[in-house]
Amino acid sequence: EALANQIAAGEVVERPASCVKELVENSLDAGAKTLVVQLEEGGIKRIRVQDDGHGMDEDDLRLAFARHASSKVKSSRDLFRIGTLGFRGEALASIAAVARVSLQSRMAGSEQGYGITVEGSTTKSPVTPVGMPVGTIIEVADLFFNTPARLKYLRTVQTEQARCVEVVQKAALSRPDVRMRVLVDGHVLFQTTGTGNPQNVLATLYGVGEAGQFLRVEGQTPDYRVLGYIGRPTQARSNRTHANLFVNQRPIRNIAVHQAVAAGYGQRLMVNKQPIYALYIDLDPGLVDVNIHPHKSEVRFSEERDLTQLVQTIVRKALDEAFL
């Protein structure tokens, strides 16, 4: 049973960043408007996520670490329906199988919260009352403490930290209406305002001063609606971590769309430079086929040519208009 849990865990929790992703998604699913993410030693030593979402009651806490405890999505097609990000109720169980986890939660209207601690799938302390604000606090310490092979597979603390931060950056861009603060080893790395404007989030994340530095692009095909904010060519970076693509608010990757953005910049982009952008693609998941593996982020679009042509065109047009 413990071994089965550890094996299953490997599918969900590959590294600290995958852990952060699951925790942040849970907070967003709980309707959080404010989220604080703390990382220590690249998330390997400690990940702490606090939210002001709807919280869990005593019974929820007891069940939270049971596999398939999800009340949410049931099939991969449902992934792109607006609503919840949760998939199969495996995340908390998987994380608890390979770390020391403390989970505390208080529901709105409840006098107090409750806490539980679990280590490698074993309950260390049962559900007990705790004083805390409404919402949920989850701490994941000593990730992979009981699976040394996985621990060895991790990269440097800086690399793992960067991946964790990137996960929250994408969450912040996908939900500009939610305030998010990231602390790394006790220092605030960034903080978004939750005003709902993606341009403000982009300016916060990439430190390019005014939000107005980003150009708005917009258009649609029969299947897709595209809205985006693209950085000036001079702001282009040497890697692709500042390329942000979302489908129905879910961060995804698609090389063809990324290439279409770059093609829209054309000669304006220096060799080996990648533009900063956030592109939001919306579609009707009942009508359009988007293929995605539940734990991977690379997607395939149907009618991809229509989409990439639109993206290239609107990017080029926006740049042409801004820089005659």
CA pair distance 319, 264, nearest whole angstrom? 8
The two structure tokens encoding residue 319 = 């740049």
By a kind-dependent CB cut-off of 5 to 8 A, residue 16 interacts, out of Mg ion, ligand ADP, none, with none
By a kind-dependent CB cut-off of 5 to 8 A, residue 174 interacts, out of Mg ion, ligand ADP, none, with none
Please report, as residue ranges, which positions from 105 to 164 form the binding site for ligand ADP (by CB under 6 A). Answer: 136
Contact status, residue 116 vs residue 125, Cβ threshold 8 Å: yes
Toward Mg ion, which CB reaches closer, 178 or 257?
178
Query: Does residue number 136 form part of the binding site for Mg ion (CB under 5 A)?
Result: no
Query: Does residue number 314 form part of the binding site for Mg ion (CB under 5 A)?
Result: no
Interface stretch with Mg ion, choices 82-90, 131-139, 140-148, 294-302 (CB under 5 A):
82-90
By a kind-dependent CB cut-off of 5 to 8 A, residue 194 interacts, out of ligand ADP, Mg ion, none, with none
Toward Mg ion, which CB reaches closer, 20 or 310?
20
Toward Mg ion, which CB reaches closer, 70 or 308?
70
Q: Hunting for tokens 């280590």 — which residue is that?
A: 119
The strands making up 277-283's β-sheet, listed across from edge to edge, are: 215-220, 224-230, 277-283, 243-247, 250-252
Nearest to 231 by CA among 277, 266, 264: 277
Interface stretch with ligand ADP, choices 19-27, 188-196, 271-279, 293-301 (CB under 6 A):
19-27
The torsion angles phi and psi of 74, rounded to 5 degrees, stand at -115, -20
The torsion angles phi and psi of 290, rounded to 5 degrees, stand at -125, 120
Give the one residue of 15, 48, 88, 179 binding ligand ADP; rule: CB under 6 A: 88
Please report how close the Cβ of residue 39 comes to ligand ADP at its closest, in angstroms.
17
Please report how close the Cβ of residue 125 comes to Mg ion at its closest, in angstroms.
23
225: left (phi over 0), alpha (psi -120 to 50) or beta: beta
Nearest to 250 by CA among 287, 219, 215, 295: 295
Q: Which residues, at least 6 apart from 143, have a Cβ–Cβ distance to it below 8 Å? A: 13, 16, 19, 43, 44, 47, 98, 99, 151
Please report how close the Cβ of residue 301 comes to ligand ADP at its closest, in angstroms.
25
Per the DSSP assignment, residues forming a β-bridge with 77 are: none
The strands making up 34-40's β-sheet, listed across from edge to edge, are: 122-130, 113-119, 100-106, 135-141, 46-51, 34-40, 179-184, 187-191
Nearest to 105 by CA among 92, 96, 114: 114
Interface stretch with Mg ion, choices 90-98, 110-118, 140-148, 263-271 (CB under 5 A):
90-98
Interface stretch with ligand ADP, choices 25-33, 113-121, 198-206, 231-239 (CB under 6 A):
25-33
CA pair distance 192, 231, nearest whole angstrom? 18
Query: Does residue number 75 form part of the binding site for ligand ADP (CB under 6 A)?
Result: no
Please report, as residue ranges, which positions from 247 to 286 form the binding site for ligand ADP (by CB under 6 A). Answer: none
Draw the binding track, 17-46, toward Mg ion (x: CB under 5 A; -: no contact).
Answer: ---------x--------------------
The two structure tokens encoding residue 163 = 């991946």
Give the count of residues interacting with ligand ADP (CB under 6 A): 24
The two structure tokens encoding residue 268 = 């304006």
Give the one residue of 53, 113, 115, 228 binding ligand ADP; rule: CB under 6 A: 53
| Contact residues: Mg ion, CB under 5 A | 26, 86, 91
| Contact residues: ligand ADP, CB under 6 A | 22, 26-27, 29-30, 51, 53, 55-56, 60, 64, 69-72, 86-93, 136
